[in-house]
């Protein structure tokens, strides 16, 4: 493992690993097959504080550093990338509020994810610990500026109308950060961010996606029909929502990279275990150079991807200490590289397992299905290359 952690940090990572291995691992295959949500496991993860990892201590969270958090996300994803996505995404919307919200908003929003708010345990209210980041729309995916959801000022309130799709945790979330256009004439400078509670009149959950992979995570539409929020639910300044969304993604893409590293590492672990026991031509296949070198290349790639996640965290802390946020490039690099690596390494693992790799009886075909999303969500890898190439062009 490339992370250099002290004993406290190591024990947090170990506890996370033990939780998912004990509780989630035994039911992964079943939930993957059924495509239903392990609500109780999500609730247990929230009770254990795993949805509040990124909440600062002053707002009732763990106050953990990003080295530890990303190492924990890697452990979650080694067991199941869908579960890692659901637990990790609880912090996604929170990031926007931590970046741009007032102290009152930070405290209020954190209360949904740190277990303070009671009575959040049913679909109509959402679940304690869970929040969702509602940016994507049917016509605003990679081109996130094309927001059709609108928020109109009406007295002391804003009234929100529109719909969002592919929203991770939509059906679990007790609170959302919603991006909406407050001034159609201003393009990216006419987009604003709002805190929207799940139980407000007019908020509903639409179609749930039946996905190829990460099937233990929830992805659904969220619909807003004349949803009235008080003006104090506007996060930061009106018209700055697009920048806040981009700044949020700069902090969120490394989480996806750590999920991808977890999936890639699991693929290596499965392939090595198989290659040590499977024999052809009188010896274990790991002793054949064709297989041995393939495993070596897989190991190089995953270790490099992990190092890029750590490189991001180094850059993040350097910049925050300087009062700057110049880590967009590092976030895009680790997400893009790790996502591509996860897919390649899973394909290689399937090749090593041969017919068994292609069979649902073995876990590697699922790893490939889970890995594929890493090249798509939190910004496609084409968007990451736009971001990295853009940084080089300036």
> Looking at the annotation, which residues are catalytic?
378
Separation between Cα atoms, residue 285 and residue 304, nearest integer Å: 25
Say whether residue 84 binds ligand COS (CB under 6 A).
Answer: no
Q: How many residues does the chain have?
A: 394
Closest CA to 27 of 215, 167, 171, 172: 215
Closest CA to 285 of 353, 346, 344: 353
Residue 221 phi/psi, 5-degree rounding, is -80, 150
- Number of chain residues interacting with ligand COS (CB under 6 A): 20
Choose the stretch contacting ligand COS; rule: CB under 6 A; options: 65-73, 135-143, 177-185, 298-306. Answer: 135-143
Q: Which is nearer to ligand COS, 347 or 386 (CB)?
A: 386
List 328, 344, 375, 381, residue binding ligand COS (CB under 6 A): 328
CA distances from 369 to 141, 142, 295 (A): 21, 21, 20
Say whether residue 261 binds ligand COS (CB under 6 A).
Answer: no
Q: Show the tokens assigned to 328.
A: 């967009």
Say whether residue 144 binds ligand COS (CB under 6 A).
Answer: yes
Closest approach of ligand COS to the CB of residue 143, in Å: 6
Task: Judge contact between 126 and 120, C-beta under 8 A.
Answer: yes
The whole-angstrom distance between residue 382's C-alpha and the CA centroid of its chain comes to: 18
Closest approach of ligand COS to the CB of residue 140, in Å: 8
If you write DSSP's letter for every residue of 107-139 in order, what string do you get? HHHHHHHSS-S-S-EETTTEETT-EEEE--BTT
List 247, 258, 344, 375, residue binding ligand COS (CB under 6 A): 247
Closest approach of ligand COS to the CB of residue 358, in Å: 31
Say whether residue 229 binds ligand COS (CB under 6 A).
Answer: no
Choose the stretch contacting ligand COS; rule: CB under 6 A; options: 59-67, 122-130, 284-292, 383-391. Answer: 383-391
Residues lying near ligand COS in the complex (CB under 6 A): 133, 135-136, 142-145, 188, 242-243, 246-247, 249-250, 328, 378-379, 383, 386-387
């Amino acid at each position: 493992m490339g992370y250099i952690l002290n004993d406290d940090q190591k024990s947090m990572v170990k506890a996370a690993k033990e939780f998912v291995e004990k509780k989630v691992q035994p039911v992964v295959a079943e939930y993957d097959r059924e495509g239903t949500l392990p609500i109780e496991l999500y609730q247990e993860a929230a009770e254990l504080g795993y949805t509040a990892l990124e909440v600062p201590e002053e707002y009732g969270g763990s106050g953990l550093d990003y080295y530890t958090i990303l190492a924990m996300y890697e452990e979650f994803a080694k067991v199941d990338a869908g579960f890692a996505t659901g637990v990790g995404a609880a912090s996604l919307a929170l990031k926007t509020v931590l970046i741009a919200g007032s102290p009152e908003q930070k405290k209020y929003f954190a209360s949904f994810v740190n277990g303070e708010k009671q009575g959040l345990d049913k679909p109509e209210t959402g679940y304690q610990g869970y929040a969702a980041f509602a940016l994507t729309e049917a016509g605003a995916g990679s081109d996130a500026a094309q927001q059709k959801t609108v928020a109109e000022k009406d007295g002391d309130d804003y009234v929100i109308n529109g719909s969002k799709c592919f929203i991770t945790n939509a059906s679990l979330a007790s609170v959302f950060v919603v991006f909406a256009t407050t001034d159609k004439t201003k393009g990216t400078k006419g987009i604003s961010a709002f805190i929207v509670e799940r139980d407000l009149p007019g908020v509903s959950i639409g179609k749930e996606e039946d996905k190829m992979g990460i099937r233990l995570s929830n992805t659904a539409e969220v619909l807003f029909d004349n949803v009235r929020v008080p003006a104090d639910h506007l996060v930061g300044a009106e018209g700055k929502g697009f920048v806040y969304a981009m700044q949020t993604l700069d902090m969120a893409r490394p989480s996806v990279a750590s999920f991808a590293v977890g999936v890639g590492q699991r693929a290596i672990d499965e392939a090595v275990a198989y290659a040590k026991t499977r024999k052809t031509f009188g010896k274990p296949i790991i002793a054949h150079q064709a297989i041995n070198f393939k495993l070596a290349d897989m190991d190089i790639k995953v270790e490099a991807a992990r190092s890029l996640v750590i490189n991001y965290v180094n850059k993040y802390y350097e910049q925050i200490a300087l009062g700057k946020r110049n880590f967009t490039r590092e976030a895009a690099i680790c997400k893009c590289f790790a996502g591509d690596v996860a897919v390649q390494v899973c394909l290689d693992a399937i090749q090593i397992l041969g017919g068994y790799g292609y069979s649902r009886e073995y876990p590697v075909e699922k790893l490939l299905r889970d890995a594929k999303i890493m090249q798509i969500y939190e910004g496609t890898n084409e968007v990451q290359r736009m971001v990295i190439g853009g940084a080089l062009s300036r």
